[in-house]
Structures are given as C-alpha cells and as structure tokens.
Amino acid sequence: MIWTRTSKLTRFRAIGLTEAGIRMNAVRTCVGCRQTGLRAELIRVIFSQGKLAFDQEKILPGRGSWLHPKLSCFALAVDRGSFARSFRARMNLENLATLKEQAEKMLDK
C-alpha cells in the first residue's frame, strides 16, 4: 500500500500524535529484509562522499537507508546490492567491508 506524505500525516494527526511523535513513528522499509519498521526502531545508513556509514543519531544530512539493527538484515542488504540501489551509486567493496566490521560490533546477531 502506498501512502502519500499528506495522507500519512493526516492519519497520524487523527490519532493524536504530535509532529515529533509522527517523525519518530514514521514507517521505514528495511533495505535488507524489505519489511517495514518504525523509524525509531531502525538504524540509518548514509552514503556521504563515497562512503557508507551508520548514522547512529539519525541526524546526518543526505539520503539515508534504513535497516533493522540485525546482522542478518545488514548481510541481506549487502547480498542484494540494496545500498547501491538505494543510493544509486557503485559501492566500494573496501567500504562495505569496513561497514560490516562496524555492523558486527553494533548489531544483534
């Protein structure tokens, strides 16, 4: 189902959420498993100056991809080339390997 931004806001307002609440409860799609999850529960990955990085505070500018905080979702995203597709850029294998090292420390198995 596709919701436009406006209809989503209207829908959330209708159930009494504040703007901040709407932002935190917005639904994102995990680039790994393709299931949706709440923005607050997913981690953000950004692609900046040719490098992928986790945006732990979810505040860095630029296009972001969203992932469940699970290594399995990260691995799926890598296998499917989801980051390249999402950021419309070629991914550098070295960079992906660096991100994977971080992922192994940060994410649940």
Task: Name the nearest CA neighbour of 26 among 39, 41, 43.
Answer: 39
Among 43, 45, 73, 91, binds Zn ion (CB under 5 A): 73
CB of 29 to Zn ion, least distance (A): 9
SS3 76: helix
Asked if 32 touches Zn ion (CB under 5 A), the answer is yes
What is d(CA 80, CA 54) in angstroms, rounded to the nearest whole number? 18
Q: Which CB, 73 or 103, lies closer to Zn ion?
A: 73
Among 54, 64, 65, 68, binds Zn ion (CB under 5 A): 68
Residues that bind Zn ion (CB under 5 A): 30, 32-33, 68, 73
